[in-house]
Chain A
């Protein structure tokens, strides 16, 4: 069965620190990969997505993610975090073509940024 692992449950950083959140998935076929963000009191928002092509994907608010097929990884990065990045981040995957419809989510990583 497909699964998504996010290695860090809670990350605490100071403003201007660099961020890398790990995400690994298990599925042998071609997948679509996503990062969603849930700010406190807000709904889940799409941060970025990867379907094919350039494995380095840029998203909103200065976030980027790199797909490394050999490692089944899709890590999220930001060079310099801000207090407003405090949120919970979810990595998700579905099968290429979305034939099963559902997204498989990791358990999320809470990011706390200290001002």
Chain B
């Protein structure tokens, strides 16, 4: 089945230690998104790629970076995690054709703990 896969599902890191979260998709979608969801809150968009074009949200801290080496993979890098970065990180994809907006498909998420 076509899907969005996130690895790992649970990640523990230490304060200040760089961490990378991975997302892959078999849907061949041209848009990939990263969201941060803190406990009991709505998902908050960090950035997205439309093909190779990177689009950062204005309020996303510089501590968060992303890479998309090919259509299938997208990575979220947190350069120096702080305690406030502990959250669920959701990857999503969508297929954008011109001005037509299609729904986003979400992965299961990676829960990040910062010690």
Q: Do the two chains bind?
A: no
Residues of B whose CB lies within 8 Å of any CB of A are: none
